[in-house]
């Protein structure tokens, strides 16, 4: 594809859109395999300029009253809503989500803007009169300075919207580095920030790879870093950032277990499990990637589940007629997913629904894997241990709930877990004992909404304060405690006269 046909992919630094003449990486439309843009590989110079701009803008922005910052986000929310279809089509084009999936995830992002618009109430401190005789005490939540976000490819709008609206609403300034695989939707979101009237330097956008990330992690003026991505990178981000004195919240990968009890409603469980395993082509950290069937649940569930998975239509998402499931992000990722499926076969599992041959006639160069179910997966198998991040459902068979919970708890991850049952006792036992930060009871994807924290555990999260909700407000602010006593003289003792 000629360069002139590529979609521009600029940086945004100190209120200016910049198109640097530096080498870049191709951005694909996964539905077709076509190159649609080139993401500039920015490095230390670009990050330094963005951080300096954010640092210079911080003193004035932090003094902007919280109610005015809230009004800004009301304006921003309206603009995002007015441009909702543009945002969703951009997501489908550069990522491959169906329009329904793009709309669903973008709406979750919109909820984070709405949450940020309530910032005056979220910043309330505490007071205690007469802590001691004539002494009063209060707490104040103040912004911390320049914050940064490093976001993944799988949710081009939603994950950035987890971060910068609340950080900016709290009075901070921000530098965002999105995935070089999906940089275009973020450009649109920041254009709308600019249109809403955000002052120069409060929001900045940089692109790049390892050099850009390392510069963010080590820059002395960056105070806090939010990250979502794979667990090895999350651990690196956390260790490097904290070693350089930053606050870090780093969300990693997952291996989410869904336990199906013998008394589960088959039709409702099949629908929820299909959505959890194959929604967004399995490219999400809340994907229900492993089903543990207990007792007779396998025989009751599998025939309907295989039928449902086989009926999932795979195809391009960049046109009017929409499929049930779109492509995965790159050809390399498609091949990795296929390789992991093959490893399960080699190690003794059975592929009972095989999506490796998916190749829509209308888009033969796209990056497709169909819905896949692998039965009789064992703990020792590669497929059971590694996060596949594709439309692959492992099925494990257990005799009882105790063994199912023990199996789930052996995972090094701890993002989400779910159970499908009609039994309150089984649900309570599971909720109480399973080692995961987000638990669903007859809910296949227990992802939280904006007012609740996204609470991964263990290798699924590195840090103390999670993304979203009140924990995120704490992350983006620092608490000041003020103790006050007034002595005599013309001021303090007037009331005695």
- Which positions are annotated as active-site residues? 285
Q: What is the DSSP string of 68-112?
A: HHHHHHHHHHHHHHHTHHHHHHHHHHHH---HHHHHHHHHHHHHH
Segment (H or E) for 439: strand 438-441
What count of other Cβ atoms lies within 10 Å of the Cβ of residue 359?
12
Q: Are the beta carbons of 374 and 393 closer than 8 angstroms?
A: yes
Q: Are the beta carbons of 305 and 270 closer than 8 angstroms?
A: yes
Determine the Cα angle at 165 with ends 164 and 167, to 5°. 60
CA distance 489 to 103: 64
- The two tokens of residue 258 are 């869904």
CA distance 327 to 467: 28
**Sign of torsion, CA 472 457 251 288?**
negative
CA distance 332 to 297: 36
Helices assigned H by DSSP within 146-286: 158-169, 184-196, 210-218, 231-243, 266-278
What count of other Cβ atoms lies within 10 Å of the Cβ of residue 486?
11
């Amino acid at each position: 594809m000629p360069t002139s046909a590529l979609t521009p992919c600029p940086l945004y630094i100190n209120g200016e859109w910049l198109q640097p003449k530096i080498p870049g990486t191709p951005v694909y439309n996964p539905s077709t395999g076509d190159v649609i843009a080139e993401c500039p590989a920015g490095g230390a110079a670009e990050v330094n300029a963005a951080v300096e701009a954010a640092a210079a803008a911080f003193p004035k922005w932090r003094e902007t009253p919280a109610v005015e910052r809230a009004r800004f986000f009301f304006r921003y929310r309206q603009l995002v809503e007015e441009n909702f279809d543009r945002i969703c089509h951009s997501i489908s084009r550069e990522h491959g989500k169906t329009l329904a999936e793009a709309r669903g995830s973008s709406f979750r992002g919109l909820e984070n803007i709405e949450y940020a618009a309530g910032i005056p109430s979220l910043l309330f401190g505490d007071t205690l009169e007469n802590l001691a005789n004539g002494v009063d005490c209060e707490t104040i939540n103040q912004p911390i300075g320049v914050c940064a976000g490093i976001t993944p490819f799988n949710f081009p709008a939603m994950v950035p919207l987890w971060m910068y609206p609340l950080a900016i609403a709290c009075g901070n300034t921000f530098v965002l580095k999105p995935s070089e695989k999906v940089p275009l939707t973020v450009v649109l979101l920041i254009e709308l920030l600019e249109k809403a009237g955000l002052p120069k330097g409060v929001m900045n956008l940089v692109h790049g790879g390892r050099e850009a990330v390392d510069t963010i992690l080590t820059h002395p003026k960056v105070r806090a870093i939010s990250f979502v991505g794979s667990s090895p990178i999350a651990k690196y981000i956390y260790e490097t950032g904290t070693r350089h004195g930053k606050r870090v919240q780093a969300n990693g990968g997952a291996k989410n277990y869904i336990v199906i009890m013998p008394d589960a409603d088959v039709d409702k469980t099949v629908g929820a499990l299909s959505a959890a395993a194959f929604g967004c082509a399995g490219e999400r950290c809340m994907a229900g990637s492993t089903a543990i069937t207990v007792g007779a649940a396998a025989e009751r569930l599998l025939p309907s589940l295989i039928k449902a998975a086989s009926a999932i239509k795979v195809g391009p998402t960049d046109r009017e007629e929409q499929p049930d499931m779109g492509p995965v992000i790159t050809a390399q990722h498609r091949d990795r997913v296929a390789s992991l499926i093959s490893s399960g076969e080699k190690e003794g599992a059975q592929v009972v629904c095989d999506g490796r041959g998916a190749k829509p006639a209308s888009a033969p160069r796209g990056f497709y894997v169909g819905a896949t179910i692998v039965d009789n997966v064992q703990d020792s198998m590669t497929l059971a241990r590694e996060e596949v991040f594709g439309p692959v459902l492992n099925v494990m068979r257990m005799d009882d709930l105790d063994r199912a919970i023990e199996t789930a708890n052996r995972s090094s991850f701890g993002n989400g877990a779910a159970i499908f049952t009609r039994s309150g006792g089984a649900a309570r036992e599971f909720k109480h004992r399973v080692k995961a930060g987000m638990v669903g009871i007859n809910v296949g994807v227990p992802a939280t909404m904006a007012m609740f924290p996204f609470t991964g555990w263990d290798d699924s999260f590195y840090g103390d304060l999670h993304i979203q909700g009140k924990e995120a407000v704490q992350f983006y602010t620092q608490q000041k405690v003020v103790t006050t006593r007034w002595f005599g003289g013309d001021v303090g003792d007037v009331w005695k006269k």
